[in-house]
């Protein structure tokens, strides 16, 4: 078993054996005063002398799990939180994605699935404490790490630094968010015991202590002096040097297979006294398109958990329930090349993407039971699943540009970035004409980092892709149309390359031997707006194409069997695209690349008693008979297992 210099807090003082009536009366009076002043008497603090947390003066350690409300449909919040509570967790850890709420500068959305206050109130109702991580940067494999893409409308902005333009946007956001948080702090009668400032800042290139000091001052000014503020970083020396700051309690993150003593020793180098805390103990891992599905054994995870609990550490399991990157919210990493994250954020977590308890959950629950009593009652069961099938009809994307871009195209000599077009997510069509005959195959070349992230060239039905396929050979006659559909696959969420501009247009200076194409008509597509308004079911045009190759929409309807159950959609023979059901964007599929082969459909999205509309945007090529299947479980085409001896 791992050893440590951790010294547990002493327990409460023993009660005297005898108590006279006057002493009893004084005790009752004191308890009455304590009860009357309980909101003010509540406290959550670090006990540096005894290396632990103290909650209301008593020694305390938390066993927590991460859940992201933005990745879980609101009707399922209670189910997931109840299962976490019944697993023995005292606490949940929650990110607040800035870009999920401030969708445009000064435009805020806290309704429906974005109602973070309702989510926090539900955690309190269910008896769970909260560790809040409001950023402003969160990573989380979320689009641009939670930072709004509209920050990039100022091309010279420096993200996550003391850059004045960036700090002004951060301050404006914190003045909206943190006043909603303050009444829910534990000291004010709420259930939020601690608040993280930034996230893994030591892994960012800037190492800007002025930025961290600015955030510390803002959080203190808006939340008060009593709330426990903390940081989280990996255990590397450089990461802890740049990511920590006096006045912020330093915690670490590491996964199973790490040497627990060495990992907590890293925390002790920057935080010699106080509780041991692993703020992200990895129960699994994320998936990237084109790589194997990550899987971590229950035995490996539970053994590491038990080792840490033996040391008296406080632990948050990341993730306990991962959920789904609906719509365009999945981010990307950059590790030698651009690596977009899959739509599923299952994470091989104890609660599956659909919220079903797994073998890993019960193994973790058994470990927790060795250290504290479990809640009384059964674990809520897995939800029932539904599996019909349906066929679809289609229309080419280029035939419906008037619907998808009702304001008409933007004219430009050279291609404009998504940011210049103020297009946050999704797709843009770039249209021009060949200036002369191209009888011999000519190279259509995209300079490095100019295609961000995937382009569908509709002259010869080819594809350009960031860091992979950057040139095509084309032929044609003068005046032939060259249409390129560019897809934003998600902005980078981790590392130094956070300023992830989509498209870099070639200016007047072209590489030697190359002639830049010019005179572009640019169509920023508002596909989600059209689908939410009932298109294409209200007006499906006839296709001008004779084949099912290239970007096209497919539509159909289906009925539920009298009850709306969760399900998974399978795409047999399809390639890559997006799926909407009843106007809700369920996210990207990419069956040709994998590993994810299905998309999760929450039952709360489905209609009972009247047809459900389904819309597919297939980008590369649908099967001859376009059929979708509904399954009762997810499918992956490749799985990478982490065994008990492996390391991450």
- Catalytic residue numbers? 200, 280
Neighbours of 389 (CB within 10 A): 13
Residue 150: DSSP 8-state: G
Give the separation between CA 142 and CA 49, rounded to whole angstroms: 38
DSSP assigned state of 384: P
Count Cβ neighbours within 10 Å for each residue of 240-274 and write b for 16 or more, e otherwise.
bebbbbeebbbbbbbbbbbebeebbebbbebbeeb
On the 0-12 / 13-18 / 19+ scale of CB atoms within 10 A, 17 is exposed
In sequence order, what DSSP letters do the residues of 283-341 get, joined into one string? SS---BTTSPEEEE-HHHHHHHHHHHHHTT-EEEEEEEE--B--TT-B-EEESSSEEEB
Tokens of 572: 């047999």
- CA–CA separation, 137 vs 455, rounded Å? 29
Spatial distance between the Cα atoms of 644 and 257, rounded to a whole number of angstroms? 8
Q: Is 290 left (phi over 0), alpha (psi -120 to 50) or beta?
A: left
Q: Which two tokens stand for residue 541?
A: 């045009």
- Which residue's structure tokens are 């600015």? 214
489 phi-psi bin (left φ>0, alpha ψ -120 to 50, beta other)? alpha
Specify whether the CB–CB gap between 61 and 314 falls below 8 A: yes
Distance in angstroms (rounded) separating the CA atoms of residues 307 and 315: 11
Q: What 3-state DSSP class applies to 382?
A: coil
Round to the nearest angstrom and report the end-to-end CA distance of the chain. 21
Alpha carbons 272 and 231: distance in angstroms, whole number: 15
How far is residue 183 CA from its own chain's centroid? 26
Cβ proximity of 149 and 503 under 8 Å: no
Other beta carbons less than 10 A from residue 347's beta carbon: 26
Cα angle for residues 83, 88, 90 (degrees, 5° grid):
100
What is the spatial distance between Cα 215 and Cα 177, in angstroms, rounded to a whole number?
14
Residue 435's alpha-carbon distances to 440, 474, 475, 516, 520, in angstroms, are 15, 13, 12, 10, 12
Q: Which residue has the tokens 């939410």?
A: 532
Q: Which residue has the tokens 């590790």?
A: 335
d(CA 456, CA 443): 15
Identify the DSSP state of 503.
-
Are 323 and 71 spatial neighbours (Cβ–Cβ below 8 Å)? yes
């Amino acid at each position: 078993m791992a050893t440590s210099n951790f010294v547990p807090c002493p327990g409460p003082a023993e009660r005297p054996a005898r108590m006279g009536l006057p002493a009893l009366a004084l005790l009752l009076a004191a308890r009455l005063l304590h009860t009357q002043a309980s909101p003010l008497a509540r406290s959550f603090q670090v006990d540096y002398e005894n290396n632990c947390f103290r909650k209301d003066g008593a020694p305390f350690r938390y066993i927590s799990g991460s859940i992201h409300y933005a990745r879980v449909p609101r009707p399922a919040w209670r189910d997931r939180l109840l299962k976490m509570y019944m697993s023995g967790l005292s606490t949940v850890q929650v990110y607040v994605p800035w870009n999920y709420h401030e969708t445009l500068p000064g435009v805020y959305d806290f309704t429906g699935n974005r109602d973070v206050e309702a989510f926090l109130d539900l955690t309190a109702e269910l008896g769970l404490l909260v560790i809040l991580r409001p950023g402003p940067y969160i990573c989380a494999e979320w689009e641009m790490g939670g930072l709004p893409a509209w920050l990039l409308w100022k091309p010279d902005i420096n993200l996550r630094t003391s850059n004045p333009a960036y700090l002004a946007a951060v301050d404006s956001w914190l003045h909206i968010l943190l006043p909603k948080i303050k009444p829910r702090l534990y000291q004010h009668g709420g259930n939020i015991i601690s608040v993280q400032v930034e996230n893994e800042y030591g892994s960012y290139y800037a190492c800007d202590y002025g930025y961290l000091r600015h955030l510390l001052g803002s959080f203190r000014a808006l939340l008060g002096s009593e709330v426990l503020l903390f940081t989280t970083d990996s255990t590397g020396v450089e990461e802890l040097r740049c990511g920590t700051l006096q006045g912020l309690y330093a915690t670490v993150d590491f996964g199973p297979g790490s040497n627990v003593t060495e990992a907590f020793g890293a925390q002790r180098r920057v935080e010699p006294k106080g509780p041991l805390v692993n703020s992200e103990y990895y129960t699994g891992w994320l998936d990237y398109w084109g790589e194997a599905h990550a899987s971590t054994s229950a035995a490996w995870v539970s053994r590491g958990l038990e080792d840490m609990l033996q040391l008296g550490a406080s632990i948050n399991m990341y993730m306990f329930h991962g959920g789904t990157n609906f719509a365009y919210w999945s981010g990307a990493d950059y590790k030698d090349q651009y690596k977009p994250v899959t739509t599923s954020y299952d994470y091989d977590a104890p609660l599956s993407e659909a919220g079903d308890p797994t073998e890993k959950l019960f193994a973790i629950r058994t470990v927790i039971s060795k250290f504290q009593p479990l809640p009384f009652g059964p674990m809520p069961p897995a939800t029932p699943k539904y599996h019909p099938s349906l066929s679809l009809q289609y229309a080419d994307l280029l035939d419906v540009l008037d619907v998808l871009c009702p304001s008409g195209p933007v004219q430009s000599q050279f291609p404009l970035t998504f940011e210049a077009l103020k297009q946050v997510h999704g797709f843009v069509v770039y249209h021009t004409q060949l200036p002369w005959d191209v009888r011999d195959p000519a190279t259509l070349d995209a300079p490095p980092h100019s295609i961000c992230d995937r382009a569908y060239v509709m002259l010869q039905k080819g594809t350009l892709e960031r860091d992979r396929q950057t040139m095509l050979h084309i032929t044609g006659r003068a005046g032939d149309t060259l249409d390129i559909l560019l897809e934003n696959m998600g902005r980078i969420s981790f590392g130094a390359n956070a300023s992830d501009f989509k498209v870099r247009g070639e200016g007047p200076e072209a590489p030697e031997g190359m002639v830049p194409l010019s005179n572009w008509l640019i169509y920023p597509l508002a596909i989600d707006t059209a689908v939410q308004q009932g298109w294409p079911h209200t007006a499906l045009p006839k296709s001008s194409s004779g084949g099912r190759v290239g970007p096209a929409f497919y539509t159909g309807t289906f009925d539920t069997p009298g009850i709306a159950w969760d399900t998974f959609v399978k795409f047999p023979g399809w390639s890559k695209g997006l799926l909407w059901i009843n106007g809700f964007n369920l996210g990207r599929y990419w069956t040709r690349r994998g590993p994810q082969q299905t998309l999760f459909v929450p039952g709360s999205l489905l209609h009972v008693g009247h047809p459900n509309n389904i819309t597919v945007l297939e980008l590369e090529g649908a099967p001859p008979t376009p059929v979708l299947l509904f399954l009762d479980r997810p499918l992956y085409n490749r799985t990478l297992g982490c065994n008990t001896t492996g390391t991450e």
